[in-house]
Amino acid sequence: MDGFDPGLNGYFDAETQLSRYLRGRAADHFAAERDEKRGIDSQREFEARRERVRDRFLSVIGGLPERPDDLAVETRGVLTRDGYAVERIVFESLPDFHVTANCYVPDGDGPHPAVLFLCGHAEAAKADALNQKACAELALNGFVVLALDPVAQGEREQYRDPETGEALVSGGGGVFAHCYAGQQCFYAGANLARWMVHDARRGLDYLHERSDVDADRIGVTGTSGGGIQTEYLMLADDRIDAAAPCCAVTEREEWLKTGKRIDAEQNVVGAIPAGFNYDDLVTAIAPSPVCVGAAASDEYFPIEGVRETDDRARHVYDLYDAVENLDLVVADETHCSVYEIGDPLFEWLCDRLGDGEFESHDGELTVVDEADLHCTPEGSVCAAYDDERTIDDLVRAYVESEVTPEETTDSDDVDSENVRRTVVDQFDLDRERCDLHPRFVAEDEFEGLTVERVWFRSERDPDAVVAGVLVSDPAESTRSQSEGATGPPSTETTRSPAVVLYDRGTEDLAERSEEVASLAARRGTVFVFDPRGVGAVRNRHVPIPNWADDYYGLYGTEFKFAYDALLLGTSLFGMRVYDVLRAVEFLRSETDAEEVTLVGEGVGAYHALYAAVTDDGIGTVDLRDLGPGFREMATNREYPYDPRLTAFNVVGDCDVPHLLAALDDRDLRVERTENRSV
């Protein structure tokens, strides 16, 4: 039994449809954003909007933790250099959650201007050679510079087996660990940025406490992920006197065109419909001085988007008659470090915050071994502190204190109608439905069964095309009878035909032919279904960046589309649940059945479960190899990461245990099986 030939047997090119669909949904939002921002013509209007943006940002990342009074600063040593010293310090961002940092201190008593240096995605973070050079250059020009290790980088690695020393999650200079933890944050209705911004605020606290720092001259800079942290801090903290985010600015529509990914902490859920764009970050401290550092050939932040953002920001600064406070420096580089942005950026910082003109020390700067900058004996906060908490500990505590405590999920304590409404609202399942207009594009036989390939549109404007293979027993098929057969259809056929959701859809059909045939013989009709982006309608591999080639892995193609959906305030997971409901609708129309069975396997089991709880016409749901609930995944250090299960704010009343209890309350037959054939 075969699935589809390429292009749905020559009927529809579905290999780029997820890209087209998501960009199509975003287009109207981008147009509305442009119109709104062009219409802002006063400081009052801008500031009201900025406050709304700030409130929404803080809300969607889960708020910010309270700042403890005591930083519990430890100085672990001082490295003396020519013209400056490097203090190796550790402080507590939160109790038992340590931040390692190097503080570059120029010779002289001060008070000095200061820069908080936020590192991007480099494994060595503060000890990265180019980061060392940037910090040293600023120190030699009179700045106190505090360079922090971000969570999961440098000495703050989070995922290493304490017995074997083996890295459990690694790669991408911290990107993979951030996205692994970020998935748990999304489940909890938060964002990893909640804790990263908090760390940065505590860095500002440290600089403000130093007697040799002029508290009225503190700037922030960083590149890539560090540039994003800089921009977030600009939005969240009003103590910044000047900011220079580098290689971290573009415009979302330009970015979306390229097929790029975004990191977990950089994904503000619902940013696109909210009109929350990079210019909102650049203007977060307007009219205070901001310099955007950019790379002309940046492979992650397109220069066209940089230029558009600069134009939008200049409109805002013009409202304050302060355009001179907004600068743009473009280096002839690909995606690069603060140091590689070069002298113009350092000149700007000296001009805005320093004690004199910038003096370049290029060619004189040297770096030291990473170990010489370590603040802990083994280069690991987890090894240095017996009670050290990790990011998953913080997410677990957040879930338990801020989201929902552990609840009973007995059917007697669950309101099935409330669960149904929650799922419908959470995944927007009650939206207007288009006509299906199914196309039957190829038919053959298998062991006496009729096998038909079908595709239809689950949504229109923009289109979402889905497909499936309909396998039916001619002697039992209601559709065949309606075309001329005599005699009443069997009860089992009309009431319980099955929609089958394999983990890879119809891609699995050839090796599962006998199983499908057996199920069709029992139920009369089986529809092996491909929701959008699965099986015969799977999107092509998106080879950007070229080092992320695992379609279903961290930073792979499936990850990319799941994250794009989050930016739209929705989820690819929810879209596929919606598609399953359309498949049920199709199967009912083909068989005149009153009830339909759902059979799901792996990720398909999740889709089957969430569809079943919203449709009273589901009589049985067979969940094969259903994984853990979202709360369990959000609160366990090791969980089965799968980008296909990306969803936001699902640890409450629409989690797996609640749904199972709701189905039990409805007396719907639920079968749960593991490691067996359908």
The string of pLDDT tens digits covering residues 307-338 is: 999 999 999 999 999 999 999 999 999 999 99
DSSP designation for 489:
P
Contacts of 301 (CB under 8 A, 6+ apart): 247, 248, 249, 250, 255, 294, 295, 335
> What DSSP state is assigned to residue 403?
I
Task: Please name the amino acid found at residue 333.
Answer: E
The closest alpha carbon to 214, from 241, 245, 244, belongs to: 241
Say if 6-17+409-673 and 61-401 have the same CATH topology: yes
CB atoms within 10 A of CB 271: 24
Distance CA 557, CA 24 (A): 18
Residues 149-205 pLDDT 10s: 999 999 999 998 877 878 889 888 999 999 999 999 999 999 999 999 999 999 999
pLDDT of amino acid 666 = 85
| Enclosing H/E stretch for 144 | strand 144-148
Contacts of 51 (CB under 8 A, 6+ apart): none
Domain edges within the chain? 6-17+409-673, 61-401
CATH 3.30.365.10 fits 61-401, yes or no: no
266/278 Cα distance (integer angstroms) = 11
DSSP notation for 597-635: EEEEETHHHHHHHHHHTT-TTEEEEEEES----HHHHHH
Nearest Cα neighbor of 138 from 431, 404, 441, 346 is 346
Write the DSSP string, 449-482. EEEEEEEEEEETTTTEEEEEEEEE-TTT-HHHHH
Q: Quick count: other Cβ atoms within 10 Å of Cβ 209? A: 12
pLDDT of residue 88: 98
**How far is 180 from 174, CA to CA, in rounded Å?**
10
- Compute and round to an integer the Cα radius of gyration of the chain: 28
- The percent of residues above 70 in pLDDT, for the chain, comes to 95
- How far apart are alpha carbons 355 and 84 in whole angstroms? 16
Q: How many CA atoms lie within 13 A of 555 on its CB side?
A: 21
The DSSP-derived string for 14-53 is -TTHHHHHHHHHHHHHHHHHHHHHHT--SHHHHHHHHHHH
* 482 contacts 541 by C-beta, under 8 angstroms: no
Nearest to 73 by CA among 47, 93, 56: 93
Is the distance from CB of 242 to CB of 219 less than 8 angstroms? yes
- Parallel/antiparallel/unpaired status of strands 84-94 and 112-118: unpaired
String of b and e for 627-637 (b: at least 16 CB within 10 Å)?
bebbbbbbbee
Beta strands in 154-265 (DSSP E): 213-223, 242-246
8 A C-beta contact, residue 530 and residue 466: yes
The whole-angstrom separation of Cα 172 and Cα 555 is: 9
Torsion angle (degrees, nearest 10) of CA 647, 649, 652, 654: -40
**Dist. CA 624–CA 627, nearest whole Å:** 9
Q: Are 367 and 375 in contact (CB under 8 A)?
A: no
Give the CA distances from residue 21 to residues 360, 459, 546, in Å, rounded to whole numbers and listed in that order: 50, 10, 23
User: Which residues are CB-contacts of 431 (< 8 A; sequence separation ≥ 6)?
Assistant: 578
CA 141, distance to chain mean position in Å, is 39
**Distance between CA atoms of residues 560 and 578, nearest Å:** 20
User: Position 511: which residue type?
Assistant: E
Fold category of 6-17+409-673 in CATH: Rossmann fold (3.40.50)
pLDDT less than 70: residues of the chain = 405-412, 476-495, 675-678
Q: Give me the amino acid identity at 219.
A: G
User: Would you state the structure tokens that stand for residue 617, as one six-digit string?
Assistant: 């016409």
